[in-house]
Amino acid sequence: MTEHASHKMNPNSLANLNKGNTKSYSTYQNCLSKEKIDELFSYLAEGMSLTRSAKEANITPQTARRYFREGDAKRGIQPLVQRLSVFQERVSEKMNVLLEETRMERLKLIRDMLKKASDSMFNPITGFFDKDGNPIDVYDKNKVKIEAFDPAKFRIADIERLMKLEAFLSGGVKTKEKESSFLSADEISSGSANE
């Protein structure tokens, strides 16, 4: 055998050399799928620290930090810190709507109680009436006739408290409020160092 015949080249070798390296190393090593980024975001949105979120999503802390601060501009992925800020604003808006609805329900309840208190004090009911307004007789469980209906026994102090509560719920009384805000994503990530 000649030297030339023993070193016969595989036809695919040259093609493989020209193809380049298909394995991802340093530049693409930490490139996350959008699903993985969403998973990381969901943990952050639940209030976990960045370190713990990375661990739960099975991502290195360095990669999680990079996506948190920088995102991936080449793929149009914004930094998670911005996404988290928008998410917190939307949650805050939703909470404000729910709190306003609850406040209005409570205000209506207080006003109904004040009306009952006023009616019982100034217009006592001396008998019972059916839905058409005709007088009827009502008996207790011992078959004793009840002469008058007392919806509630209100004291002046009770009425005063209800009036103050009504004024407060209506926005007429201002109290000092502590400034409260959601934690920023940076505060969440720095909190992980304290854990």
- In tens digits, the chain (195 residues) has pLDDT values of 455 555 666 766 666 656 654 443 334 445 888 888 889 888 988 888 988 989 998 889 898 898 888 888 888 888 888 888 888 888 888 888 888 888 888 888 888 888 877 776 666 556 677 888 888 888 888 888 876 655 556 677 777 887 888 888 777 655 555 555 566 666 666 655 444
Q: How far apart are CA 74 and CA 30, in angstroms?
A: 14
Rounded to 10 degrees, the C-alpha dihedral 142/145/149/150 comes to: -50
Angle at 75 between CA 73 and CA 79, to 5 degrees: 45
- Tell me which amino acid residue 8 is: K
C-alpha dihedral sign at 125, 128, 132, 135: negative
What is the pLDDT, as a whole number, of residue 162? Answer: 79
Strand 128-129 vs strand 135-136: parallel, antiparallel, or unpaired? antiparallel
In eight-state DSSP terms, residue 51 is H
Assign residue 76 a region: left if phi > 0, alpha if psi is -120 to 50, beta otherwise? left
What is the pLDDT, as a whole number, of residue 176? Answer: 56
What is the pLDDT, as a whole number, of residue 124? Answer: 59
Predicted TM-score (pTM) of this structure: 0.41
127 in helix, strand or coil?
Answer: coil
Q: How far apart are CA 37 and CA 152, in angstroms?
A: 59
